[in-house]
């Protein structure tokens, strides 16, 4: 018997064998495979994270150009108009993000997706933005420089006030000469980069902190903190002796 005939007989025998395999066995084989795949899908779904996974009290913030921008706390009397259109919000954390989500450029905590983001008047966008009629201010970048590099407030400061660290109420105001001297010293300080004071082990909660408010000529104001025990000041700078003397004299 030649080779071709043997192959033909083998194929015929295989087909006959399939005809006589009980359908219950084939059904069992198919069912086992289906159950296995379903169980895998169920297990994957069980381990997938459903967001949001916690109730989070967010600050009103935007993350833009690798910086956090917080809503300015006193802007009711602001005399600013929207400047150049810079882009729009791509993702909103509220109602969507899990607790461990890290903000990315174009994210906002409360603003809805698609909200336009503008420059704030003639401020450098690295310092202030506007969205939905609100002003958002940067807390500083991760790069070293000077306070003036980070805060576009040169020539804009109209006053400095000292506030209670307990209830935020105004205690006193710096005199005109002190405001002028404060601006000169403050803006020339070396900026260490976002979060550096914490990394250096400074500004601990048990150390003396003084609340100062910077008033600007656009009608807005915002708070900074001076830590007398470490002679440190926000955002992330070490004060000079001259600046320390100005502050302590005005708040004593």
pLDDT tens column, 168-189:
899 999 999 999 999 999 999 9
Q: How confident is the model at residue 11 (pLDDT cuts 50, 70, 90)?
A: very low
Mean pLDDT computed over 101-107: 95
Over the stretch 136-148, which tens digit does the pLDDT of each residue have? 999 999 999 999 9
According to the model, what pLDDT value does residue 19 have?
43
According to the model, what pLDDT value does residue 166 have?
86
181: CB partners within 8 A, 6+ apart? 242, 246
CB contact at 8 A, 156 and 134: no
CB contact at 8 A, 183 and 176: no
Pull the structure tokens for residue 31.
Answer: 């069912």
Helix (H, G, I), strand (E, B) or coil at 65: coil
**Phi and psi dihedrals of 218, rounded to 5?**
-95, 5
CB contact at 8 A, 225 and 234: yes
Mean pLDDT computed over 185-197: 95
Mean pLDDT computed over 63-78: 90
According to the model, what pLDDT value does residue 64 have?
97
Strand residues in the chain grouped as ranges (E) = 61-64, 67-71, 82-88, 91-92, 107-108, 116-120, 128-131, 134-138, 145-146, 157-163, 170-173, 190-191, 209-216, 221-227, 232-233, 237-238
Residue 36 has pLDDT above 70, yes or no: no
Q: How confident is the model at residue 14 (pLDDT cuts 50, 70, 90)?
A: very low
Closest CA to 228 of 218, 216, 246, 214: 246
Residue 25 has pLDDT above 90, yes or no: no
According to the model, what pLDDT value does residue 204 have?
67
Closest CA to 207 of 225, 231, 229: 229
pTM over 0.85: no
Share of the chain above pLDDT 90, in %: 65
């Amino acid at each position: 018997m030649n080779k071709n005939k043997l192959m033909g007989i083998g194929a015929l025998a295989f087909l006959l064998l399939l005809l006589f395999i009980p359908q219950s066995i084939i059904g069992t084989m198919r069912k086992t495979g289906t159950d296995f795949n379903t169980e895998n899908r169920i297990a994957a779904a069980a381990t997938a994270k459903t967001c949001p996974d916690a109730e989070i009290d967010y600050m009103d913030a935007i993350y833009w150009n690798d910086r956090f921008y917080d809503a300015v706390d006193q802007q009711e009397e602001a005399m600013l108009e929207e400047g150049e259109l810079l882009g729009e919000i791509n993702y909103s954390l509220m109602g969507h993000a899990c607790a461990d989500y890290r903000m990315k450029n174009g994210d906002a905590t409360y603003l809805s997706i698609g909200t336009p983001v503008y420059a704030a008047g003639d401020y450098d966008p690295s310092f202030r933005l506007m969205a939905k009629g609100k002003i958002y201010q940067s807390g500083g970048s991760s790069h070293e420089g000077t306070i003036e590099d980070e805060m576009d407030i040169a020539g804009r400061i109209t006053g400095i006030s000292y506030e209670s660290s307990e209830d935020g109420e105004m205690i006193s105001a710096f005199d005109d000469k002190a405001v002028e001297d404060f601006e000169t010293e403050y803006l020339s300080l070396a900026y260490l980069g976002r979060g550096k004071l914490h990394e250096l082990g400074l500004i601990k909660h048990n150390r003396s902190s003084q609340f100062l408010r910077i008033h600007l000529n656009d009608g807005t104001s915002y708070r900074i903190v001076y830590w007398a025990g470490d002679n440190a000041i926000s955002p992330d700078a070490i004060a000079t002796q001259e600046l320390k003397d100005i502050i302590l004299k005005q708040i004593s």
